[in-house]
């Protein structure tokens, strides 16, 4: 389960990857990932802006790995997954200030 952020897998992943994902992205190299997806997620090609961000992380940590072969797992944005986890509604009154 992810609530946000970025996870990067350089190796293989297990069955159900991305299950109960609400936000964020999981980048994977596993060539069989399409057969291992959890529910309520979609597999897409890695976007150019994500390629740049991942390449910058690899450079920062001296990881020698290209980024073009990554696929990205993202949550579906329909049904129960299309909501904000925390949205404060309380406001200070004049008496509390």
Of 14-18, 73-77, 85-89, minimum mean pLDDT range: 85-89
Q: Tell me: pLDDT of 90 over 60.
A: no
**b/e code 41-60 from CB counts within 10 Å (16+ = b):** bebeebeeebbebbeeebee
Q: What is the pLDDT of residue 83?
A: 45
* Closest by CA position to 45, among listed 29, 24, 58, 21: 29
Q: pLDDT, tens digit, for every residue of 18-68?
A: 988 888 999 999 999 999 999 889 999 999 999 999 999 999 999 999 999
Q: 20: alpha, beta or left, given left = phi > 0 and alpha = psi -120 to 50?
A: left
pTM equals 0.77
- φ, ψ dihedrals at 34, nearest 5°: -60, -30
Find residue 73's DSSP bridge partners: 26, 43
**Residue ranges of domains in the chain:** 6-81
Output DSSP code: residue 37. Answer: B
């Amino acid at each position: 389960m992810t609530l946000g952020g970025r996870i990067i897998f350089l190796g293989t992943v297990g069955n159900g990857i991305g299950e109960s994902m609400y936000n964020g992205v999981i980048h994977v190299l596993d060539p069989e990932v399409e057969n291992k997806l959890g529910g309520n997620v979609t597999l897409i090609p890695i976007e150019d802006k994500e390629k740049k961000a991942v390449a910058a992380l690899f450079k920062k940590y001296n990881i020698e790995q290209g980024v073009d072969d990554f696929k990205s797992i993202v949550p579906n944005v329909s049904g129960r997954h299309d909501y904000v986890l925390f949205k404060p509604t309380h406001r200070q009154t004049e008496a509390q200030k």
